[in-house]
């Protein structure tokens, strides 16, 4: 048993993080207090920490950034069972825009979302045979919330027409 220096509660050693600097091989503050301290520090210093991260990212060479983006794209294609050529061909055939809303920017944090049939491959990754197209962030989220159920999407469309939103 060890008493936390912050909350003064006696707890078993498993409630403390390992540390080779301390006598018992554990920190003097319990994991719960440490997490609370980290949350508070991040909340108080959020803007500074974000700007420091942006500065570190900006210092990276443009070549390294390009290689990293290409690697991420190739890795995503591999997980979905596609080649980069098939991806580029699909994007070109869609007019370099979303297959549903025709928006020319993918939105969100990353690039275009690879839509696949979840009946064939449940989960995040498709096999390549069930690939349906490239979607923007919003359309991909929308299909996900509607669980690819056409009847529910039709009801949503009918509802929008009823309330005068859709034409």
Q: How many domains are there within the chain?
A: 1
90 part of a folded domain: yes
Structure token pair of residue 51: 């700007």
CB-CB contact of 137 with 113 (8 Å) = yes
> Per-residue pLDDT tens for 100-109?
999 988 887 7
Residue 14 sits at φ, ψ, to 5 deg, of: -65, -15
User: E-strand spans in 38-83?
Assistant: none
What pLDDT shows up at residue 167? Answer: 61
Residue 138 sits at φ, ψ, to 5 deg, of: -65, -45
CB-CB contact of 69 with 77 (8 Å) = no
Residue-averaged pLDDT of the chain: 86
Q: From the first residue on, what is the mean pLDDT of each consecutive set of 10 residues in the chain (167 residues)?
A: 92 91 87 95 94 84 80 82 85 92 84 82 74 89 87 90 77
152 part of a folded domain: yes
The CATH number for 76's domain is 3.40.1800.10
48 part of a folded domain: no
> Per-residue pLDDT tens for 70-97?
888 788 888 888 888 888 898 899 999 9
Structure token pair of residue 147: 């669980």
What pLDDT shows up at residue 155? Answer: 92
8 part of a folded domain: no
47 part of a folded domain: no
38 part of a folded domain: no
What pLDDT shows up at residue 166? Answer: 57
Q: Which H/E stretch holds residue 126?
A: none
Query: Which domain does 84 fall in, by range?
Result: 62-162
1 part of a folded domain: no
81 part of a folded domain: yes
Report the interhelical angle of 62-80 vs 84-93 (nearest 10°). 90
Give which of 27, 1, 5, 3 is closest to 16, Cα–Cα: 27
How far, in whole angstroms, is CA 44 from its chain's centroid? Answer: 24
Give the pTM: 0.55
């Amino acid at each position: 048993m060890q008493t936390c220096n912050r909350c003064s509660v006696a707890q078993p050693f498993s409630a403390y993080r390992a540390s080779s600097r301390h006598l018992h091989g554990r920190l003097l503050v319990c994991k719960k207090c440490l997490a609370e301290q980290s949350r508070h520090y991040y909340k108080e210093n959020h803007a500074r920490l974000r700007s420091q991260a942006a500065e570190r990212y900006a210092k990276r060479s443009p070549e390294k950034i390009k290689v990293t983006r290409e690697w991420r794209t190739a890795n995503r294609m591999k997980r979905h069972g596609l080649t980069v050529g098939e991806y580029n061909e699909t994007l070109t055939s869609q007019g370099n825009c979303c297959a549903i809303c025709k928006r020319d920017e993918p939105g969100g944090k990353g690039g275009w979302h690879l839509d696949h049939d979840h009946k064939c491959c449940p989960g995040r990754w498709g096999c390549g045979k069930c690939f349906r197209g490239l979607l923007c962030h919003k359309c991909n989220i929308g299909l996900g919330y509607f669980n690819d159920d056409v009847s529910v999407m039709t009801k949503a469309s009918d509802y929008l027409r009823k309330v005068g939103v859709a034409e």
